[in-house]
Structure 1
Amino acid sequence: MRDLTPGVLKASWLHFLLLGVVLFTLQGFLFPAPKPVVGPLDDARVATLVQTWQGFNTRAPDASERQRLLRSELERDMLFQHAISLELYLHDPVVQQRLVRNMRFLGLAAEADTEALFERALELRLHLGDEVIKRRMLQVMEQLLLASSPPAVITEAEIVAAFQQRSGELRRSARYSIVQLFFDRNREAEVPGLIARIEQEALPPQDAVMLSSPFMQGYTFTAQTPDQLARRFGAVFVSNFLATVSEPRRWYGPVRSTYGLHYVWVDDIEPARDATLAEVRPILQRDLESEARSIALAQAITRLSERYELRL
């Protein structure tokens, strides 16, 4: 059989085909398709972002903080735009319920069934301007990004290192077990006599409670930190109480709070101490996992942003 290979290689149609492939490939390198554009944000939206930032920080953002703020908002828009391009909204029950509810609220095709209302809402492009749907799509996109680029697994060495670094922060506060008698401002004049009676009759704390004015928070509190006491009695009480108390199994006071006067039996004091690793392991694990998740998500968003043009 005759070898046709040399003839085929000399064929003009093959030369044109190869030239076309080369030109198409070069075009992709030399003239890439333009990236989708996100931004810039309009002035009103920028002003709202800056105002919100100032509300949390009590000052205006500097130039770098402002740039990070705008960049973060553009990344949110990018994620939403990418979710829309992937048509993630088509099969999300939260989006469907939201659009159907909006359609009925607006009185648009109120008699139609759920599927028809959903389709009509999409035709009206209601999904593009709804903040609830945007937040939902951002959540879905973040889940997809983390699924494709999962966070690093937290190791025991990282937990131990975090425990050592945060030992001061994780120190266990002193705890107080108390029984308190409360006297409102109308009864303050009675307090010296009532204290004398308690001491003379050696009334047990649970019996002495009968002399107290009503107090909505209660009378007996077990193993309370100063912060917990402050939530119940206020910072003034805690400041006065800690300045007075020194040992358990005795009465202290009267101790003033913003509510009135308190006569306090201190049943037990657990001194402040360093936490053990076993006690704070769940906290450390949670915080490290949250940090790893944030890092992984930020890296994934950065990679995705390379496919877009973000205009500040």
Structure 2
Amino acid sequence: MKKLIKEPLLHFFVLGALLFAIYSLVNKNTDEEEIIIDNSDIEHMIELWQMQWQRPPSEDELQDLINKYVDQEVMYREALRLNLDHNDEIVKRRLAQKMEFLGNDLTTLVAPATDKNLKAYFEKHKENYATDYNYTLHQVIFTADNHKNPVAKANNVLDTYDVSSSESLKEVGDKFPLPYTYSNVDAFYLNRELDENFTKQLSSLRIGEWSGPIMSGFGVHLIYIEKKDNPRIPEFASVKKQVQRDYEYQMVLDSKNAILKELKQKYKINIEADNISSMLKQELAQNASK
């Protein structure tokens, strides 16, 4: 029971229910024919004006802003009376976004990005923050432009030359605008320089001798790995900002899914369209109810 009380999603639902209840109560007691403009409305108008014009509005300009606000509010309320928001995709999308924003605000209250929460998230997902492999290596390349069978050429070189010296193959490869030596570079850099397929093959190669061949988009390579640093888990402090971004995104995603799941319980999904298969109808209805 204590564990349930400490559960953030439970806090979220309680806080959300309270907020919606207060909202309903406030709206129930508000006369729809009365348009109230309070201090917060005026301050908001002034802030928007200052953002656009880099100065506060004059009295006449502020009066004009108030008049436009009233006109917009009247037209908005009358549009609702006429049900003009019905089946309007733009209105639907905007209102759905506002519900999401409301959920996001609640998330920051029930699951704030405190050091305790961030460290717990980091411990659970620390592999996501591991550093890449880091290499110092030498490479030579054989291309299809220069060899009928570049793989056979690379294997022949391995059989013919001394593979224990990092300099023994320096003049053997094709002339190509790639460096012979990559010094202290990580896998991310090599992904950009060559390609991801090339980098993936490096981790299985032996250190201190020429080996391969391995492929890239440029051709066939022989590789001499002089030094390889394996991935490591960094200290929390060094990746805290990235952890916070990931944590906040995940909390928003989790709360959004939790809200939708809870709200969908109120609805029965019945797909009556006749231009899709019965199997697809059933699958769509099941997914919508999840």
Q: So what's the TM-score if we normalise by structure 2? A: 0.44
CA radius of gyration, larger in: 1
| Higher RCO (CA < 8 A, seq sep 6+) | 1
Q: So what's the TM-score if we normalise by structure 1? A: 0.42
Give the structure with the higher percent helix.
1
